[in-house]
Structure 1
């Protein structure tokens, strides 16, 4: 699974991407093994809830509310626009809701958690330069957020047993890509190893 070559700093933040009911078995975009990684996500959040930020992927009210390719995307997925969706499916998974507060929730309408600038500003205010990343999906929103964090210079620690995808093939390919092409900027380790090295 990988090892950490150095300790995790006390000001590190656990960034948990889109662990929401919409991506569980009950939602229209199911990630079948979300429930399998959920205990590890909860362990990270429970270890340092005040240093955890949960993101939520929020679709538009209707497809025409977003520009260009996003409008075309939601023309295909009209059932997940907010005018049709059961809005309770946008909630965090029940096992994670009790961590808020002190954990924070950041809503976003695109894949990357960094797209609107609020997350980066929050992390700078915390003097955070290291992120522990968990969540859904390895090959979509996690991918987009991780690469944005790399571009901004963050040390990224991916919790390999706390991320999930709807595609085993894509998940495995992305973990391999992170290891081969981004080994200096992205570290991969298991939840237990991360917690053991995290000095809170």
Structure 2
């Protein structure tokens, strides 16, 4: 039987405790057996200028997840042509691990609203489950996705922490250490990032 893997895509700039809480909730309270943090080199919808180097962000995800056997860092998108799209990553993963894993996507409920703008979103919905966690900015049910057989709502805790907030507070000289895994805080501090 294929192992069920949740793919949690993000720039993780930086990864914070909110990301870990959601990922851990997914592996403990759904049928997902592992969550892979897919570090995105460049999201087509985001400006690249604010991003730390890909490998620094990957290293922080590695540091944050190394104590959790069901949570794994993934740099699979680093080798793909940029800008990359989720469908390309899924095709690449299927080719790399034929018949080994059953992949699913993890996303915040607010992201469902823009799913129809994704490249080949119909193909994604047809072939992959999407595990959705609530966000503080609840959105109306998206008619086409309401009761869709591939959408799995997971009652995860609502996290109001964002990487943007963390970057701003570091720059402002605030102590945000409790919002980050200790190893990530030490990495940022040592490298003098976001100051």
TM-score (norm: length of structure 2): 0.49
User: Quick one: higher RCO (CA 8 Å, sep 6+), 1 or 2?
Assistant: 1
TM-score (norm: length of structure 1): 0.48
